[in-house]
């Protein structure tokens, strides 16, 4: 029976334990999306020998960003900044993949060189906020404007932008990349019929709606090789004003197709989570959880979302997933794997420091032994 501390090989990633750091946007990059020393220290602190870190959502294009001070991977300075993060993680025996992110309709023009957001269809993500800055440099939530429908000839260019980002991630030394296809961002906007009303070969049938995501995965795999690309999905997700007429059918189809892609892993956000928050009493037509998709996807599964260590262990015991990713707990417990292993108490996360700021609430959580 597997526990959180049974070693596992996920594609080409050889891991000593199964406590994964989930990608968490912390809005601490510098000078136009460049990871600086503060971020190097943050990731270094969270490294454990043989452990896997998934670095936060990172913009693949200067024309699409939703959070002020979120990092990018589309220019040399950003690549060099990430290399320092990766080197620090590798020096301590950890592994790290980069989450590649295009927010599509969830982009703020002020963070995107003035560009209007693009999406499969001109449908606004209602009641969803990005984080910009006001005239005094203070963060503030902002609604997304109406997106522009992508022209057919622009779509291969976007896939190419993912490929270029993957090349930069490889040059920076990352062990692989994770496609952010969750939480209502561009790949999911193509996939779900609530946000994709196209009538060309990128919309309509399930196969057409899944095409963008699958072609991006193929491009990433060409760059990094088999077993080094992960895909993150949120099959029960409603964050970003997302909906689908039949999520169970959509995601089981996708999971089945991903069997042929030689992934490192499929990463699934469980139904109890909406974006960065716990779901409050709401419901979704048909929650699709890891245990459902296990039937369709035969490779390595990471489950994420609202896990305490005990619940993660139970999930592994029941063989409903292979690894467990922790988000908020990792923000306040830099040595989370060791704390879980030794039964040390866990520190509660600091909500008001999650998104943006300085070292406070970011790199000042001590390891337990200190
Ligand atoms: C501060 C914060 C930032 C997040 N940023 C990302 C992100 O960049 N990419 C992503 O896929 N999910 C992101 N999430 C979602 C987490 O990865 C995770 O799915 C969610 O927090 C639920 O897991 P938890 O209960 O272990 O925190 C974020 C969550 C939080 C709290």
Can you give the pLDDT at residue 131? 97
- How far lies 370's CA from each of 57, 149, 159, in Å? 30, 53, 46
b/e map 320-358, b = 16+ CB within 10 Å: bbbbbbbbbbbbbbbbbbbbbbeeeeebebbeebbbbbe
Strand (E) positions, the chain?
8-10, 13-15, 19-21, 52-59, 95-101, 118-119, 129-133, 139-143, 148-149, 176-180, 229-233, 265-269, 273-274, 277-278, 301-304, 323-326
Residue 25 φ/ψ, nearest 5 degrees: -65, 120
Contact 363, 38 (CB under 8 A): yes
Q: Largest Cα–Cα distance of the chain, in whole Å?
A: 59
Can you give the pLDDT at residue 284? 47
Domain spanning 8-353, CATH class: alpha beta
Can you give the pLDDT at residue 370? 56
What are the tens digits of pLDDT across the range 198-253?
999 999 999 999 999 999 999 999 999 999 999 999 999 889 999 999 999 999 99
Kindly give the number of the ligand 1 atom that is closest to the alpha carbon of 57. 8
Kindly give the number of the ligand 1 atom that is closest to the alpha carbon of 354. 1
Residue 42's H or E segment, with its range, is: helix 37-45
Can you give the pLDDT at residue 75? 98
Task: Give the residue whose CA is nearest to atom 25 of ligand 1.
Answer: 306
Give pLDDT < 50 ranges for the chain. Answer: 283-285
Residues in CB range of 63: below 8 A, 6 or more apart: 107, 112, 113, 115, 118
Can you give the pLDDT at residue 304? 97
Q: What is the Å distance from ligand 1's center to 365 Cα?
A: 18
Distance separating alpha carbons of residues 111 and 127, to the nearest angstrom:
19
Q: What is the Å distance from ligand 1's center to 205 Cα?
A: 30
Residues in CB range of 224: below 8 A, 6 or more apart: 166, 169, 170, 176, 177
Residue 313's H or E segment, with its range, is: helix 309-317
Distance separating alpha carbons of residues 25 and 22, to the nearest angstrom:
10
Closest-CA residue to 100 (of 258, 276, 285, 228) = 228
- The residues assigned a catalytic role are 185
b/e map 153-192, b = 16+ CB within 10 Å: eebeebeebbbebbbbbbebbbbbbbbbbbbbbbbbbbbb
Could you give the 3-state DSSP secondary structure of residue 12? Answer: coil
Enter the DSSP assignment of 22: P
Can you give the pLDDT at residue 289? 84
**To the nearest 5 percent, what fractions of the chain are helix, strand and coil?**
30, 20, 50
Q: What is the Å distance from ligand 1's center to 23 Cα?
A: 6
Task: Give the residue whose CA is nearest to atom 4 of ligand 1.
Answer: 24
Can you give the pLDDT at residue 315? 95
Retrieve residue 227's tokens: 């077993």
Contact 211, 202 (CB under 8 A): yes
Task: Give the residue whose CA is nearest to atom 2 of ligand 1.
Answer: 24
Q: What is the Å distance from ligand 1's center to 201 Cα?
A: 32
Q: Which residues have CB under 6 Å of ligand 1?
A: 22-25, 56-57, 99, 180, 182-183, 232, 269, 273, 276, 304-307, 326-329, 354-355
- How far lies 331's CA from each of 99, 156, 351, 361, in Å? 17, 36, 10, 8
């Amino acid at each position: 029976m597997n526990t959180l501390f049974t070693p596992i090989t996920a594609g080409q990633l050889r891991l000593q334990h199964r406590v994964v750091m989930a990608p968490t946007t912390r809005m601490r990059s510098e000078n136009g999306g460049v990871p600086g020393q503060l971020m190097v220290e943050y990731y270094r602190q969270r490294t454990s020998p043989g452990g896997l870190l998934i670095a936060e959502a990172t913009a693949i294009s200067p024309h699409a960003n939703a959070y002020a001070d979120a990092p990018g991977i589309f220019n040399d300075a950003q690549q060099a900044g990430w290399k320092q993060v990766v080197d620090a993680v590798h020096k301590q025996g950890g592994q790290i993949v980069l989450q590649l992110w295009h927010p599509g309709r969830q982009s703020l023009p002020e963070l995107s060189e003035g560009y209007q957001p693009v999406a499969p269809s001109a449908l606004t993500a209602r009641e969803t906020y990005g984080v910009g800055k006001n005239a005094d440099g203070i963060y503030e939530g902002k609604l997304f404007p109406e997106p522009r429908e992508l022209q057919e000839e622009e779509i291969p260019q976007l896939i190419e932008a993912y490929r270029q980002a993957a090349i930069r991630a490889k040059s920076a030394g990352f062990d692989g990349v994770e496609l952010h296809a969750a939480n209502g961002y561009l790949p999911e906007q193509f996939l779900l019929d609530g946000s994709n009303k196209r009538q060309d070969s990128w919309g309509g049938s399930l196969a057409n709606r899944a095409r963008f995501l699958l072609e991006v995965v193929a491009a990433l795999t060409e760059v990094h090789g088999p077993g080094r690309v992960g895909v993150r999905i949120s099959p029960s997700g409603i964050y970003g004003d997302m909906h689908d007429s039949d999520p169970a059918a959509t995601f089981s189809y996708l999971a089945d197709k991903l069997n042929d892609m030689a992934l490192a892993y499929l990463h699934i956000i469980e139904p109890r989570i909406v974006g960065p928050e716990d779901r409050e009493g709401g419901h979704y037509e048909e929650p699709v959880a890891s245990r459902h998709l296990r039937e369709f996807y035969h490779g390595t599964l990471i489950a994420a979302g609202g896990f305490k260590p005990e619940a993660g262990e139970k999930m592994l015991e029941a063989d409903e997933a292979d690894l467990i990713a922790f988000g908020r707990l990792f923000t306040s417990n830099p040595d989370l794997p060791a704390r879980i292993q030794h039964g040390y108490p866990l520190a509660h996360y600091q909500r008001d420091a999650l998104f943006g700021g300085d070292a406070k609430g970011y790199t000042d959580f001590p390891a337990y032994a200190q």
